[in-house]
Amino acid sequence: MLSLYSQSPDVLPDRLPIHVHEFLQICLKPIDDNDLKLTWEILKLVAWDQKYDYLVAQKLAHKYLQLFLDHRHCRGIGKPCILSTYYVHAKSSQRTYYKEVTKFLQIATHVFISSRTCELFSTMMVTAWTSATNCARIYNKGLAVNLFTPLLPASFKKSFKLDVEDIWTALFTYWLLEDCKTMDTMLQVNHNAPSEFQRLLPSLQARNARISGTGQAEWNHVCDQCCWVETLPDGQLSEVRGTTISANRVGAPSISTIHDCTEPLESVKDHFCAKHKHHAKECAVVACHQEVEPGYKTCALPDHRKHQLACLKVMQPADSLSASQDVNEVTQTADGETEVIPAENCNRKPDIGNRKLRARFGRRRTHNEQLCVASCGVIVGRATFFGSEALNSVRTFLMRLFPTKKSLPGVIWYDNNCKMREMLNNDTDPHLKGYFDDIALPVDVFHFKCKHKESDVNCNMYCNPYRWEELRTADGKWRFNSSAAEQGNGWFGGYQSIVREMQVDRYNFFLDEMIARRNQLIVADLKAKLHAPHYIPRHVLLSSSDSDFVPRSMA
C-alpha cells in the first residue's frame, strides 16, 4: 500500500503518509509522534522488503472473517455499539450514521453493499429506468461474487443474492446519506424500529417536506439556454428566465371516490384513507350510498350487482347473466371506473332514458404529476395533482414553487395559458389576480399553432407567443425551448411502472431523487458545452427587498 504514495514502486518513502501514521499511532497507543517516526526509521528497510502478495493478502483477510462475525462491536457495559456504517449508544435507541458515506453500507444484520454498487444502481435508474427488480437480477446474475462462501460457517444461512427489498433499503439509505452529506448533517434513525421501512420512514418524510416547493437543488439554476440577460441604460442587469409546465400521467394509489383528497393511504392496498374509511361500506356504484351486502362490493339492487363482468371489460350480452346468478365481486381489483348499461325486459326505451351506471371496484390513482422545467431541460419543481389538472391547482403549484414575485421566471409556457389568464382576469382577490401581472404567460409554440383556434380572441390577445419580442432573437428564432416540459415528460413517464404500487413517501422521495440526479447530468452537460450554468442566490430570489437583481417586466 505504501508504494502507492512513493514516486516509484521501487523507491522507499522517507516518511509515512499522514493517515497511515495516524492509523499506526492509534493501533500502537500510547506511542507518541516522535517514537513512531523513529520506529519507522529503524524498521522501514525490513518493512519495504516485504513484497506485496495478493494471495497472502487474501489469506490475511479471510483469517479474521470468523472473528468479525463473532465480535462485530464492543460489548462493554455503557460502551457505544460501533459498526461499519453507524453507531448506537447503549443508553439510546437512536442509530447515528457516520457523516462520510462509507465504502460499505450495512443494510441488515448480515448484509453489506458497497457504495459503488449503490451508485451503479442509481445511475441505471436515472438513465435507463431500471427497476429495483431488474437491479437485483443484474447483480445476482452478473455481479455477485461468492469468494467467501466456502469460508463461512455452516450455520451462516444468509444468501449472497439480493432481493428487491434489499435494493430499496440500500438505495434509500445511500440517498439519505448523500443528502445528509450535502446538508452537512448526520442521519439519525430509530434503531429499534420493527422494519427497515419503518426505520427510514421519518427521514424520508422530512426530506420530502424540505424538497417540496423550492427545495430542489437546481431551483435557482440559470444558464445561457434558459436565461437571457440584458444591460439596461442605467447599468443594471435585467434578466428573463424561461420555464415550461406540463402534466404527466404518472400516478400513485389514491383514495377511491373522494375527489381531491390528499390524505395518504396507510397501505397501497387500501382504497380509503383513515379519514374516509367509512366509505368502504358503501356500494361501489358511483353516487349510490347504500350499504354493501356481505360478500359483495355493491348493494342489493339487481342492476348494481348483476353486471360485474362489465368492470372486467368482458364483452357479453347483458341478458346472458340471469338475475339469480351469483357473481363474486370480492376478487375485483381493477382500477378505474366502469360504465354499465342495464338490460331491459323489452325493447321499448324507458321513460327516464337509457341510464348508465358507473362503478368503481378498484382504487383511484392520483391524476397527474405536474412538472416545471427550465428551457434548458433542468426540472425546477414537481407537484402531485390528486383529482384533476384544474387551473386553480396549477396556479397554486406555481405560487408555491415561486413564493415571491422576484422568484417568478419572466416567461412560463403552458398549453392552457389562455384559460389561465382568463381565470386570473376574473379573480376577485387582488393578490391572486395580480401575482403574475409582470410575467409572460404564452401558450407554447406547438400548441398555439396546432391546438388553439385563430378565432379565439382571448388567446390571441394575452397568450400569443409572437406578442413578446423578448422571446425571439434578432434573426427571428425562438430564444427559449417552449417544449422542454413535454420533452421532460418523455423521460419522467418511464417511471410509471416502477412507482405505480409504491408507498406514497417512497414514491415522492424516489421521484425527487431521480429528478435531482437527472438535473446533475444536465448541468454537467451544459457546463461541458460552455453554456455557463450557475445560480442566482436563493436569498435574493426569496427576499422582498430591493437588490441589483431586477427581473424584466414582461407586462
- Would you call 218 exposed, middle or buried from its count of C-beta atoms within 10 A (0-12, 13-18, 19+)? buried
Residue 197, C-alpha cell as written in the block: 421501512
The answer for 7, left when phi > 0, alpha when psi is -120 to 50, beta otherwise, is alpha
Amino acid identity of 488? Answer: G
Residue 323, C-alpha cell as written in the block: 338475475
pLDDT at 436: 94
Same domain, 280 and 335: yes
pLDDT at 323: 41
Residue 394, C-alpha cell as written in the block: 396549477
Same domain, 334 and 286: yes
**Residue 405, phi then psi, degrees to nearest 5:** -65, -30
**Within-domain flag for 534:** yes
Dist CA 292 CA 299 (whole Å): 4
Last residue of a domain, one of 155, 178, 211: 211
**Within-domain flag for 143:** yes
pLDDT at 546: 61
Question: 137 by DSSP, 3-state: which?
Answer: helix
**Within-domain flag for 60:** no
Is the bond leading into 537 cis (omega within 30 degrees of zero)?
no
Which residues contact residue 166 at a Cβ distance below 8 angstroms, ignoring those fewer than 6 apart? 107, 108, 111, 113, 136
Same domain, 245 and 257: no
Same domain, 541 and 398: yes
Which residues contact residue 282 at a Cβ distance below 8 angstroms, ignoring those fewer than 6 apart? 257, 288, 289, 290, 291, 292
Residue 498, C-alpha cell as written in the block: 416502477
Last residue of a domain, one of 307, 335, 365: 365
Dist CA 239 CA 515 (whole Å): 25
Dist CA 353 CA 360 (whole Å): 23
Any idea what DSSP says for residue 294? T
Dist CA 382 CA 388 (whole Å): 15
Same domain, 239 and 268: no
Strand partners, 340: 357
Which among 245, 236, 243 has a CA at the least distance from the CA of 479?
243
Question: 471 by DSSP, 3-state: which?
Answer: helix
| Parent domain of 36 | 2-52
Q: Are 190 and 93 in contact (CB under 8 A)?
A: yes
Same domain, 309 and 443: no
Cα separations in angstroms, 234 against 230, 231, 327, 550: 11, 8, 79, 12
**Within-domain flag for 488:** yes
Same domain, 105 and 8: no
Question: 375 by DSSP, 3-state: which?
Answer: coil
CATH number of the CATH domain containing 390: 3.30.420.10
Dist CA 224 CA 239 (whole Å): 11
Same domain, 299 and 345: yes
Angle among Cα 313, 314, 316 to the nearest 5 degrees reads 135
Per-residue pLDDT of the chain (555 residues; tens, 9 = 90+): 555 455 555 677 777 878 788 888 888 877 888 888 888 888 888 777 766 666 666 666 655 555 544 444 444 545 555 567 888 876 778 889 988 888 888 888 778 888 999 999 999 999 999 999 999 999 988 877 666 666 667 777 777 789 999 999 999 999 999 999 999 999 999 988 999 999 999 999 999 999 999 999 999 999 999 999 888 788 777 889 999 999 998 988 776 556 667 777 777 777 777 777 777 778 877 778 888 888 777 887 877 776 554 554 443 444 444 444 443 333 334 465 554 444 444 445 555 555 566 767 777 788 899 999 999 999 999 999 988 888 999 999 999 999 999 999 999 999 888 889 889 999 999 999 999 999 999 988 877 777 666 767 677 777 888 888 888 888 888 899 989 999 999 999 999 999 988 999 999 999 999 999 999 999 999 999 999 999 999 999 998 766 556 666 666
Cα separations in angstroms, 351 against 245, 343, 348, 358: 47, 14, 9, 20
Dist CA 24 CA 31 (whole Å): 9
Model-level pTM?
0.76
Dist CA 548 CA 235 (whole Å): 10
Strand 188-190 relative to strand 549-551, pairing: unpaired
Same domain, 420 and 398: yes
Dist CA 68 CA 63 (whole Å): 10
- Own/partner pairs, 302-305, CB within 8 angstroms, 24+ separation: 303/340, 303/342, 303/357, 304/357, 304/359, 305/329
Same domain, 343 and 372: no
pLDDT at 54: 66
pLDDT at 317: 45
Any idea what DSSP says for residue 281? G
**Residue 190, phi then psi, degrees to nearest 5:** -80, 115
pLDDT at 309: 44
Residue 43, C-alpha cell as written in the block: 524498521
